[in-house]
Amino acid sequence: MFNVVDPSDLVTEGVPGPTKPVMKATVLAVLRPRPGERILEIGAGSGSLTLELARAVGPLGRVYAVEGDKEAFRSLERNVRDFCLEDRIEIVRGWAPEALEDVDEVDAAVVSGSERLEEVLLALAERVRRAILLNAVTPETFATAVKALDGWRRSCLCMVWGEGKVLRRGTLFSGMRTSYLALFEPER
């Protein structure tokens, strides 16, 4: 369904790791980015998801990738260049919410985390037309988002996933992770 970038093709020096293919496919399925849309990504990291969003919005769309970490920013720049998507991706260096000051209204936003999540979500609520997708790894982050975007319609998904290693007697799933996805849509 989705042509997901192989993480081994990315430059990820100094970055905890690119978003896994299963998570990217799920984010794309839930957010439903459309050709021509303008999408804002907070916490772009190495750009693994950024590249997928840029492919989804196509040549008439735009992705604003916000990243404040110096090493992640360098990896992000290189991956955008290596995948020849500079025409669709604008990299914004800095931490949200301050880094959002020069970003106008967008159709959708993806938030993969922030130390100042409530402030970031309130800033996004003023700029986002269609949807904000939160990808959280803790229930506390999820709860903060629900409180900050009170009054917005939301649909939620909790995933527990891991990668399997085939053994002689079966399959061992290791690195099990829980992810909370919440799609917030304005009541407008």
Query: What's the CATH number where 37 sits?
Result: 3.40.50.150
13: in domain: yes
Average pLDDT score over residue span 35-40: 98
pLDDT of residue 164: 87
Domain count, the chain: 1
pLDDT of residue 4: 56
DSSP assigned state of 150: T
Average pLDDT score over residue span 169-181: 88
125: in domain: yes
Under the banding of pLDDT at 50, 70 and 90, the label for residue 14 is low
2: in domain: no
148: in domain: yes
82: in domain: yes
Asked if pLDDT for residue 177 goes beyond 60, the answer is yes
**Residue 11 vs residue 63, higher pLDDT:** 63
1: in domain: no
The percentage of the chain sitting over the pLDDT mark of 90, rounded to a whole number, equals 73
| Domain enclosing residue 162, as ranges | 7-185
Q: Which of 80-89, 115-124, 155-164 has the lowest mean pLDDT?
A: 155-164
Report the C-alpha gap between 188 and 183 in whole angstroms. 15
165: in domain: yes
Half-sphere exposure for 167 (CA within 13 Å, toward CB): 8
The percentage of the chain sitting over the pLDDT mark of 70, rounded to a whole number, equals 90
What is the residue type of 161? W
Report the C-alpha gap between 29 and 78 in whole angstroms. 26
pLDDT of residue 1: 42
pLDDT of residue 67: 95
Q: What is the pLDDT of residues 129-172, one digit of tens each?
A: 999 999 998 889 999 999 999 999 999 999 888 888 999 999 98
Asked if pLDDT for residue 40 goes beyond 50, the answer is yes
- For residue 148, what are the contacts with CB-CB under 8 A and spacing of at least 6? 117, 118, 121, 122, 125
pLDDT of residue 163: 82
